[in-house]
A and B are shown apart, each in its own frame.
Chain A
Amino acid sequence: DIQMTQSPSTLSASVGDRVTITCRASQSISTWLAWFQQKPGKAPKVLIYKASRLQSGVPSRFSGSGSETEFTLTISSLQPDDFATYYCQQYNTSSGTFGQGTKLEIK
């Protein structure tokens, strides 16, 4: 089974900061990786799919990169609406393991 390790678990930042979240797969998943944003009481929302493709309607300050086992989500200039929890998910196989999540907090 593929394990996903996400870091950091908590990130404190200010509006306007550039932040990066990392996700590591226990084996190669090519670029079969998605990033989700979740706000309290809501279903997760897809931000990035296939490691670097921006979902329609998602602001361009979000970007994804990486392949094989190392992936990053970058927010270029934090906005107040971006403070939420972020998850990576691999979908290389019929399974769909998630990372542990990163809670992005206001500093």
Chain B
Amino acid sequence: QEQLQESGPGLVKPSETLSLTCTVSGYSIRSGYYWGWIRQPPGKGLEWIGSIYHSGSTDYNPSLKSRVTISVDTSKNQFSLRLNSVTAADTAVYYCARAAAGSWGQGTLVTVSS
């Protein structure tokens, strides 16, 4: 079964860009499935951010669409999240996951603060 691991800065300043990468092992992204990002603000529920296919086709949460970019690097078996113009409301644990009820990463806390 695939394993996923998030990486990236744990602290981002307001108005700057949050960037995270998810490294997949045990499964080739090229083989299929959508791969996604989900976040969970402290004490709140899960929010789907967006998904990407190995071809590069994407789908984003309409509430975040104007600020989100998800990309894929099949040569490194990674996919990435960029969220720009962040505010304190973007503070959350960010998870990467394989879509269709696949595996999840352990999550990484990103705090937006000056």
Instruction: Find chain A residues with CB under 8 A from B95 CB.
Output: 43-44
The interface on chain A, measured as residues whose beta carbon lies within 8 A of the other chain's beta carbons, has a size of: 23
For chain B, give the interface size range. Answer: 20 to 34
- Of all chain A residues, the one with the shortest Cβ separation from B44 is A101
Given contacts A1-B62, A43-B107, contact A91 B46 (CB under 8 A): no
- Stretch in A21-29, A75-83, A92-100 touching the partner: A92-100
State the total of A-B contacts with C-beta under 8 angstroms.
Answer: 56
Interface majority SS (helix, strand, loop, mixed), chain A = loop
Give the interface centre of B34, B59, B101 by most chain A CB atoms within 10 Å. Answer: B101
Task: State whether the Cβ of B73 lies closer than 8 Å to any Cβ in chain A.
Answer: no
**Complexed CA–CA distance, A60 and B75 (Å):** 40
Instruction: Find chain A residues with CB under 8 A from B53 CB.
Output: 94
- Of all chain B residues, the one with the shortest Cβ separation from A44 is B104
Instruction: Find chain B residues with CB under 8 A from A46 CB.
Output: 101-102
Interface on B for A, CB 8 Å cutoff? Answer: 34, 36, 38, 45-48, 51, 53, 57-59, 61-62, 95, 99-102, 104-107
Interface on A for B, CB 8 Å cutoff? Answer: 1, 32, 34, 36, 38, 43-44, 46, 49-50, 55, 87, 89, 91, 93-101
